Chain A
């Protein structure tokens, strides 16, 4: 088999599954491909997609980010507390929120890289810390998001699905980063840290940058969530920690680092999001949805593990 074909094998299974889900969805909701449905669905999926992108970046270094949910809430809180009406007011609030989340991510990275602490501990501690800080910034749900922005985002803006556009721009940004030396070094450090160090790569800098980028995408997810819901909620981010890990794992991102691609994460997020909606249509209780979500995750990973094992044997 040629390497060029083999390079795309990783997403074939996910694409097939996604196709099945899409066809079923189309049956139940024929408006699936209409602009308004795309706008609504992409607004609904954007936070999970961007959170999973952030989680993927950290996992590629061989780490895991347990502070993702709280940092997402923090970004949302800073945004809704500072946002003023008008383009400049909104952009300034976005910039501030992103600066805060990037700093929170880079702090994780610095502790992992320089203090040599295990990522799981560092980000666990950070998750408590940022939950507290978020509650100081925004003690209860509320805050302000300009109404015009909320309706343009959720209902379409001159026929353009803004959330979908945001996802495309975010992924294009990642694609660009991935093509820089940093992008390649990220995979090198995740795949063989000592080898990367012995080859002259500044492994610490790579880790700090990686966690910083994760903070950036987490902040974008928080801002997206604020605009979608029209207000802020200091506790809304919590489930995104585990959901983002689930999506990354579904996309085949290795817990040991250095293996996996962002497009698979994207497919994983779409799959999980659509599946949840699909179950809502069928009217099954959310209890069973959770059970099914767990089963899907284990089966997907088991199938992949068994398939890979066969190839290496």
Chain B
């Protein structure tokens, strides 16, 4: 007997297969853990169940009925009505409305057509206490700390008395007490014959609540195991272990030797609310990675170093203290930044390839001390050189960047810094959403840039990428660096272990 069954489901985005023949099922009164690395397809599979997406092939059955067939499309609204509730990492709360209003968001109880606040408050109280939240229901949701907001989401999911609860990284912002409250709710649901699907990167949590675990890798189900029949190491092995082949260029040779003088020394860098106590030495010729689960503060480290986030701590360039308060200062000191969100921060997507590539170099392109107009001829020469050396595929330099493929967009976002001869290059998720061939090209470019004397700092949620590309990886967990992996220590197993286990590893 099953409550939910996913049968041979496949799904592609823009020609890229993200799910291939995925099958698993959830029984009544069961808690199923869904595990896998970032990008393994967990969120996509959950979106099929909650009605945010439809599969290309295969079927999803809930309570025996096919959900993606029939006249009316499966939607969040219908899924909720059928008894499927979900809590996601991204919040769906309205920060400006009260906690009570948010708990019943979209399903406010009325009397005589009117919503009585007294009713809302009275009915929200038991739900809030069920999730272990002691707040005034009239508090505006946006005023609560992130963890409390996530518990409000959980209370909201419980309003319809769901038969299937989906927890997608729902505990990522919670402290230990709050996680225990969530698990208490999960246990209650299980005891009442309801089912739960839980996605979490924290292994400890997974083993604490799941009855079975299904492992996804690269969009396929690798295995489904009973809790008693598996352990941490077994799961990690199932999650990783791909062929590296010639995807990555050889690493810098002097890894073991005495490293060169660092160009940028970071001591005790802190961004309020995101990270603290970050020490980094960026050395010419080396590619350093910042690893860990998503959202452990890696992004903020890069943004701070590029002057986009207010920060504290000691930053020295060539041994002399320097201030990096604005991107302008950072660029003047020879720092380039290829952001995670290339469409808003990295590029002007409605502008031409030419305009994007020449933007950081306008100062150089404007003939000295004359009327500071940009020399079109020099600009064309610069752009042609970059298009050629980076192998950017564009119909012409006048083509709008938004018409390029994701990989070529990323090449433009990277190439634009090169004429400014940066000494430090910061890259966030440099290959996200990019096809394998272009990924390989970007890895080789980055290594060439490092070999030419640049210091490179990369964040990535892709463990294989960090292991294959970097000379050294600092693993972040909840805003701190918990482990540094160099040389033979730099393996996927070690990296994944440090990422999910976090602080424990330093105490061993």
Known A7-B138, A179-B115, A184-B97; contact A198-B76, beta-carbon cutoff 8 A: yes
Q: Is A86 an interface residue (CB 8 A)?
A: no
**Residues of A contacting B156 in the complex (Cβ-Cβ under 8 angstroms):** 199
Q: Is B139 an interface residue (CB 8 A)?
A: yes
A198 near B92 with CB under 8 A, answer yes
**Residues of A contacting B145 in the complex (Cβ-Cβ under 8 angstroms):** none
**Residues of A contacting B97 in the complex (Cβ-Cβ under 8 angstroms):** 184, 187-188, 191, 258
How far apart sit A181 and B77, CA to CA, in the bound complex (Å)? 16
**Residues of B contacting A258 in the complex (Cβ-Cβ under 8 angstroms):** 94, 96-97
A181 near B115 with CB under 8 A, answer yes
How far apart sit A132 and B93, CA to CA, in the bound complex (Å)? 43
Q: Which residues B331-370 have CB closer than 8 A to chain A? A: none
Neighbour of B108 across the interface among A3, A4, A176, A181, CB < 8 A = A181
Q: How far is the CB of B340 from chain A (nearest CB, A)?
A: 20
Q: Is A183 an interface residue (CB 8 A)?
A: yes
**Residues of B contacting A259 in the complex (Cβ-Cβ under 8 angstroms):** 96
Neighbour of B105 across the interface among A2, A194, A201, CB < 8 A = A201
B138 near A179 with CB under 8 A, answer no
Q: Which residues B145-202 have CB closer than 8 A to chain A? A: 156
Neighbour of A201 across the interface among B81, B98, B106, B139, CB < 8 A = B106
Q: Is A151 an interface residue (CB 8 A)?
A: no
A176 near B114 with CB under 8 A, answer yes
**Residues of A contacting B113 in the complex (Cβ-Cβ under 8 angstroms):** 180
Neighbour of B115 across the interface among A180, A192, A194, A200, CB < 8 A = A180
Q: Is B101 an interface residue (CB 8 A)?
A: yes
Please give me the residue from chain A that is nearest to B86 by CB atom.
A198
Q: Is A71 an interface residue (CB 8 A)?
A: no
Q: How far is the CB of A148 from chain B (nearest CB, A)?
A: 37
**Residues of A contacting B106 in the complex (Cβ-Cβ under 8 angstroms):** 185, 188, 196, 199-201
Task: Label chain B's interface by main secondary structure.
Answer: loop
Q: Is B65 an interface residue (CB 8 A)?
A: no
Most A CB contacts (10 A, CB to CB) among B96, B114, B116 go to B96
**Residues of B contacting A7 in the complex (Cβ-Cβ under 8 angstroms):** 138
Q: How far is the CB of A88 from chain B (nearest CB, A)?
A: 30
Known A179-B115, A180-B114, A188-B106; contact A196-B94, beta-carbon cutoff 8 A: yes
Please give me the residue from chain A that is nearest to B156 by CB atom.
A199
Q: Is B80 an interface residue (CB 8 A)?
A: yes
Known A199-B105, A200-B106; contact A4-B138, beta-carbon cutoff 8 A: yes
Neighbour of B94 across the interface among A180, A181, A195, CB < 8 A = A195
**Residues of A contacting B81 in the complex (Cβ-Cβ under 8 angstroms):** 200
How far apart sit A31 and B81, CA to CA, in the bound complex (Å)? 61
Q: Which residues B74-89 have CB closer than 8 A to chain A? A: 76-77, 80-81
A187 near B96 with CB under 8 A, answer yes
**Residues of A contacting B108 in the complex (Cβ-Cβ under 8 angstroms):** 181, 184
A: number of interface residues (CB 8 Å)? 26
Q: Is A157 an interface residue (CB 8 A)?
A: no
Known A197-B76, A200-B76, A200-B80; contact A192-B93, beta-carbon cutoff 8 A: yes
**Residues of B contacting A176 in the complex (Cβ-Cβ under 8 angstroms):** 114
Please give me the residue from chain B that is nearest to A257 by CB atom.
B96
Q: Which residues A161-209 have CB closer than 8 A to chain B? A: 176, 179-181, 183-185, 187-188, 190-192, 194-201
B110 near A180 with CB under 8 A, answer yes
Please give me the residue from chain A that is nearest to B113 by CB atom.
A180
Q: How far is the CB of A29 from chain B (nearest CB, A)?
A: 40
Known A184-B97, A185-B106, A188-B97; contact A195-B92, beta-carbon cutoff 8 A: yes
Known A181-B110, A183-B115, A185-B106; contact A195-B96, beta-carbon cutoff 8 A: no
Most B CB contacts (10 A, CB to CB) among A176, A192, A194, A196 go to A192
How far apart sit A274 and B110, CA to CA, in the bound complex (Å)? 39
Known A179-B115, A181-B110; contact A195-B93, beta-carbon cutoff 8 A: yes
A184 near B92 with CB under 8 A, answer no
Most B CB contacts (10 A, CB to CB) among A4, A187, A196, A199 go to A199
**Residues of B contacting A192 in the complex (Cβ-Cβ under 8 angstroms):** 92-95
B101-137 interface bits toward A, Cβ cutoff 8 Å, 1 = contact, 0 = none:
1000111101001111000000000000000000010
**Residues of B contacting A195 in the complex (Cβ-Cβ under 8 angstroms):** 91-94, 105
How far apart sit A231 and B76, CA to CA, in the bound complex (Å)? 52
Q: How far is the CB of A28 from chain B (nearest CB, A)?
A: 40
Please give me the residue from chain A that is nearest to B88 by CB atom.
A198
How far apart sit A198 and B102, CA to CA, in the bound complex (Å)? 13
Q: How far is the CB of B157 from chain A (nearest CB, A)?
A: 10
Q: How far is the CB of B298 from chain A (nearest CB, A)?
A: 24
Most B CB contacts (10 A, CB to CB) among A4, A194, A197, A198 go to A198
Neighbour of A200 across the interface among B77, B96, B98, B101, CB < 8 A = B77
Q: How far is the CB of B36 from chain A (nearest CB, A)?
A: 23
Please give me the residue from chain B that is nearest to A179 by CB atom.
B114
A191 near B96 with CB under 8 A, answer yes
A3 near B136 with CB under 8 A, answer yes
Q: How far is the CB of B388 from chain A (nearest CB, A)?
A: 40
**Residues of B contacting A191 in the complex (Cβ-Cβ under 8 angstroms):** 94-97
B94 near A188 with CB under 8 A, answer yes
Q: Given contact pairs A196-B106, A198-B76, enumerate 12 new A-B contacts (beta carbons under 8 Å).
A: A7-B138, A180-B113, A184-B97, A187-B94, A187-B96, A188-B97, A194-B92, A195-B91, A200-B76, A200-B106, A258-B94, A258-B97
**Chain A residues near B (Cβ < 8 Å):** 2-4, 7, 176, 179-181, 183-185, 187-188, 190-192, 194-201, 258-259
28 A-B contacts, Cβ less than 8 Å apart? A3-B138, A4-B138, A176-B114, A181-B108, A181-B110, A184-B101, A184-B108, A184-B115, A185-B106, A187-B94, A187-B96, A188-B94, A188-B106, A191-B94, A191-B97, A192-B94, A195-B92, A195-B93, A195-B94, A195-B105, A198-B52, A199-B80, A199-B92, A199-B106, A199-B156, A200-B106, A201-B105, A258-B97
**Chain B residues near A (Cβ < 8 Å):** 52, 76-77, 80-81, 91-98, 101, 105-108, 110, 113-116, 136, 138-140, 156
